[in-house]
Chain A
Amino acid sequence: MGTGVAKSVTTQKLVNEKGRFGRFGGRYVPETLIPALEQLEREYLAAKKDRDFQKELNYYLKEYVGRPSPLYLAERLGKRLGDVKVYLKREDLNHTGAHKINNTLGQALLAKRMGKRRIIAETGAGQHGVATATACAMFGLECEVYMGEEDMRRQSLNVFRMKLLGTNVIPVKTGSMTLKDATNEALRDWMASVGNTHYILGSVVGPHPYPTMVRDFQSIIGKEARDQILEKENRLPDCLIACVGGGSNSIGLFHPFIEDEGVRMIGVEAGGIGLKVGEHAATLSYGKVGVLHGSMSYVLQDDDGQTQPVHSISAGLDYPGVGPEHSYLKDIGRAEYVSVTDAEALEAFQACARSEGIIPALEAAHALAYTMKVAPSLDRGSVILVCLSGSGDKDSFEVAAKLGIKINSPAHG
């Protein structure tokens, strides 16, 4: 697809009252959850229109999270890539080190509004878990987080942080012991606890209204970035690049630009170590339409509809599904989806550290890796806006291990 040519879409058409983005989305969950989802939808729509709610949310986003996050021109990186301008949306500078807090604060406030005092969440890399634990600590809500045992091993630092924040981390030992299994467990908990519990889902996946609600909370990324780039460059960017696991940081960046037809939007998935089943997590690139975790979207499944194993160096991208809005944007050709390998992400991780003094999360390193790949083919002076969705501090041990460097850490023996 050529640069700057995109079909016109209106946000009006993007989601209908049944939570459908075209044929994607919907609500495929047991009957037990339907009333809870209906209540959540009602409360969310009311909160969205409620000025006091928005005012309170904005207060915390500013004073607690530290928004707006900077849009930083990575000059050395841009020069190296053939004289393009690479802007990094610094979500890593948010309190708790990632974009996840934008959503958890919003949903925690909503839970308070609904009178639900117990919060549950699932987490992969642990960023969403930490962000949920943080919001709950601050608002005084009880919090339990489901996390796959394999992820707990990979992200022991985040497990410790959650515990410090007063959250009970529940190890998930079923299935692949990663994000999808943690999501199953959280959904199960919610089915039995729906009366007093709100489930803070961490991405733009799951049954309606989650994909819409989480997108709205994350759209602050794109709204700020759009204002910031217009102020700095006096024009819109040529291209947006963000990593896609479930797809919350990317949809947060993309959404406010959807009607800006000349702006290319590129989602970067985890290409892992190969194209075979179980070697990657590139759902939009290699998946087919199916149903997983309550919504219809692209999924990595076998011919019987069984979820396939996935792999990524990044725990946050290690997920066999993707948000339904991304599936829709792919099908109508408004966004492009590509993938980069573990090795490419690892290289970008180090390159960003060296040339910009910023250690990105391995998730964000996927977006940077594709930026480095695509930039040389763009016109000189092109403006690329990359979502630096999180900080790489959490990945230090994992990356050191991958690079064959031993760090003396009690967490890793």
Chain B
Amino acid sequence: MDNRIDQRFKLLKSKKESAFIPFITAGDPSLEVTRGLILELERCGADIIELGIPFSDPIADGPVIQASYYRTLAKGLRVEDVFRLVKDVRKETDIPIVSMVSYSIVFKIGVEKFLVSAKESGFDGATIPDLPVEESQALIRSASEKDFRIVCFAAPTTTPDRMEQIAKGTQGFLYYMSVVGITGVRDSLPKDMKENICRLKRLTDKPIALGFGISTPEQAKIAGSVADGVIVGSALIKELERNIDKSPSEIIKAVGQLAGKLSAGAKGRV
């Protein structure tokens, strides 16, 4: 059987649509809300869920996601809780779920054990932002055997020879960081974005998803017009943060509404 991520991109390709990939933190503000959010995001037009596993020292992430991680870790969230959550939500949805996880966590748990547990719980892949492509070869091989996708990153600063290596190594899709720097909300998208994506498309047939700094439906529309997928994280977490004192159903509704608009943008319907 095909991996869910591959299936989804195949389907979207036939519909000539870009994927909308929202990012949320597992356990923020509670596992119950995360569970509800995954289902709500799917209803609101998400194609793939990127689920962040909280880490104490997330160097690739900006203040919004870091604060979200801290809130969650302060409540004592463990990685096994995240696996349990995905296992539970899998009973109700077939949406592809990709974990965003630091190599510090993967290494500590053990590469093999992490891959097996993630796959068994219902994750379809992982992005490991602090594991550069040259360090990920063995991990990618092992993941391949398990039909588990390791999504690699490319950045505007990536040199052409590395770009080739990354395009070759990545699985499921390629995560292109549209700006130099950390995740977060920005006012504009960089000009060289389109050019860089075209360069990548010449190197690979794999879908390319754009992330980092996309926060409005208009930006999602621009991103969706050049890339095969649009990833939005900080803007959604910010919306969650704004509503954090409300009831679980209100939080889920608020984040879902924003996701709906972003999804429409990513699919060119605004």
Contacts and interface: CB of A to CB of B under 8 A. Distances in A.
A305 B182 contact: no
Would you call the interface of chain A mostly helix, strand, loop, or mixed? mixed
Given A28-B131, A30-B129, A290-B107, A305 B157 contact: no
Given A34-B158, A305-B102, A305-B108, A188 B70 contact: no
A294 interface: yes
B78 interface: yes
Nearest to B79: A304
A63 interface: no
Contact of A27 (B55, B79, B135, B159): B135
Interface in A34-57: 34-36, 38
Interface in B29-61: 55-60
A292 interface: yes
B60 A30 contact: yes
A184 B67 CA distance: 13
Interface string B124-153: 000001111111000000000000000011
B70 A175 contact: yes
A82 B159 CA distance: 61
Contacts of A18: 134
B132 A34 contact: yes
- Size class of B's contact patch? 35 or more
A193 B182 CA distance: 11
B162 interface: yes
Contact of B70 (A174, A301, A305): A174
Given A188-B62, A191-B182, A29 B132 contact: yes
B215 to A, nearest CB: 16
A307 B60 CA distance: 16
A334 to B, nearest CB: 25
Contacts of B103: 28, 291
A408 to B, nearest CB: 38
A230 interface: no
B105 A305 contact: yes
Contact of B132 (A31, A192, A290, A307): A31
Nearest to A289: B107
21 contacts: A18-B134, A28-B103, A28-B104, A31-B129, A31-B132, A31-B157, A34-B162, A35-B159, A36-B157, A188-B62, A191-B59, A192-B179, A291-B104, A291-B107, A292-B57, A293-B59, A296-B107, A304-B78, A304-B109, A305-B105, A307-B56
Interface of B: 55-60, 62-63, 66-67, 70, 73, 78-79, 102-109, 129-135, 152-155, 157-159, 162, 166, 177, 179-182
3 tightest Cβ-Cβ pairs between the two chains A and B? A192-B181, A305-B108, A305-B105
